[in-house]
Structure 1
Amino acid sequence: MKAKLLTILCLCCTVVIYASIAQTTIFKVQSGRVDFKSEAPLELIKASSNQLVGLLDTKSKNFAFKIYMKSFDGFNGATQKEHYNENYIESDKFPEASYQGKLIDEIDFTKEGIHTVRTKGRLLIHGVEQERIIKSELTVTKDKMLLKSNFMVLLSDFNIPIPKVVSMKLANEIDVQLVATLVPR
């Protein structure tokens, strides 16, 4: 009898917890990572940051993400990171990159599984805003979401110059990968 009562109590608690999570509309980045890669003829440059922050409102489908440019590590040495911050990204003048906008595809956030979604928003890098549509994969589980995205950024679109002297070492086209775990706020 006690075991049956305990089972029913546990089941009720699980339902209540799941219902409260399902009603939550604001999700925040619990952990997030952004990687970028430049593949030029003479050099491969990779860097990453685990300091992505952001919010997603599942009711309005609005989102906002940002990352501090000085938080990227990797590169091919300290001098390269210094040049990235001072000469190209100008991190003191433009300390963060951001992407904010809205999910443009319908998604049932109560349905667990992998969903392909498109987002439309304003990508801000180096003080230049550009409207973008970015395709992402959103895995919904009962207590969190996993967001994965891969997109290209052209340095020339964001007024980031590539001096001729390094044009064979720095690509104009940068591959960006993002992975974030979102949890109820």
Structure 2
Amino acid sequence: MKKLFVFIGIVFCLNVQAQDYLTRNGSVNFYSHTAIEDIKASNNEVVSLLNSTTGAMDFKIAIKSFHFPKQSMEDHFNNENYMSSDKYPRASFSGKITNLSDVNFAKDGTYNVTVEGNLTIKDITKPVKAKGTITVSNGKVTAQSTFNVKRLDYNIVGESFVQKKLADEIQITVNCQYDKR
């Protein structure tokens, strides 16, 4: 019986030390640059969970929550030639901070991190590795990163007459301010 209480105490202590951070209004933007046209979109409804003990990071993104400067761009983006958002309503990322020991979530500062994981778009999952920062300020945690993905890796083709308007690599920028969960 004594061993059971010790075990329960250890499990309780581990759970108290584990700190999850959550956002429901994270930001993901993308940018495509070609000589013909720049395309930008933003999504401020990103849900993300960050575990400061394990370094696990998870993101869920509703495709229809991306907004463009022009309604016609948004309509094209969501149709079957691009994102097929009715068929594939979400994108996601699941990964880990690989250098978690470099981050002190209890101390204000900006920490350089590398995150590795799997990005899923249109039910196609590919490994992604990105550099970014974790900033701790007055108990708030912010994660930022900018990286590129190849659109054809995720079967984002578009209509043939606009191929020259779309960059082969799309720049993704993530900015999430987390609250303790």
Structure 2-normalised TM-score?
A: 0.84
Q: Could you tell me whether the CA contact under 8 Å between 1:33 and 1:49 is conserved in 2? A: yes
8 Å CA contact 1:119–1:133 kept in 2: the answer is: yes
In 2: Cα distance, 1:31 partner to 1:141 partner: 18
Q: 1:129/1:138 Cα in 2 relative to 1: closer, same or farther (>3 Å)?
A: same
Give distance in 1, aligned partners of 2:32 and 2:25: 24
Q: 1:165 to 1:177 in 2, by over 3 A?
A: same
Correspondence for 1:32: 26
Following the alignment from structure 1 to structure 2, what is the Cα–Cα distance between the partners of residues 128 and 182? 27
Q: C-alpha separation between the residues in 2 aligned to 1:32 and 1:82?
A: 23
Q: Secondary structure at the match of 2:145?
A: strand
Distance (Å, rounded) in 2 between the aligned partners of 1:61 and 1:102: 5
Tell whether 2:74 aligns with 1:81.
yes
Aligned partner of residue 165 in structure 1, secondary structure:
helix
Number of corresponding residues = 163
Please give the alpha-carbon distance, in whole angstroms, between the structure 2 residues aligned to 1:158 and 1:39.
Answer: 18
Aligned to 2:5: none
Shift of 1:128: 0.6
Q: Distance in 2 between matches of 1:65 and 1:80?
A: 24
Q: Aligned residue for 1:6?
A: none
Asked whether the equivalents of residues 99 and 123 of structure 1 are also in contact (C-alpha less than 8 Å), the reply is yes
SS in 2 for 1:89: coil
1:60–1:24 Cα change, 3 Å: closer
In the alignment, structure 1 residue 67 sits paired with structure 2 residue 61: yes
Residue segments in structure 2 that go unaligned for 5+ positions in a row: 1-15
Corresponding residue for 2:95? 101
Note if contact 1:119-1:135 (Cα within 8 Å) is conserved in structure 2: yes
Q: Which residue in 1 is equivalent to 2:38?
A: 44
Larger Rg: 1
Once residues 80 and 102 of structure 1 are traced to their aligned partners in structure 2, the CA distance between those partners, rounded to angstroms, is: 33
Structure 2 match to 1:166: 162
Match of 1:155 in 2: 151
Counterpart-to-counterpart distance in 2, 1:85 and 1:57: 32
Residue 6 of structure 2: aligned partner: none
TM-score normalised according to structure 1 size: 0.83
Contact 2:24–2:46 (CA under 8 A) maintained in structure 1: no
Cα separation, 1, equivalents of 2:24 and 2:180 = 9
Contact 1:148–1:179 at 8 Å: present in 2 too?
A: yes
State the distance in 2 between where 1:82 and 1:162 align: 12
CA shift digits 1:36-72 (9 cap, x unpaired): 1111221111110100101111112112111100001
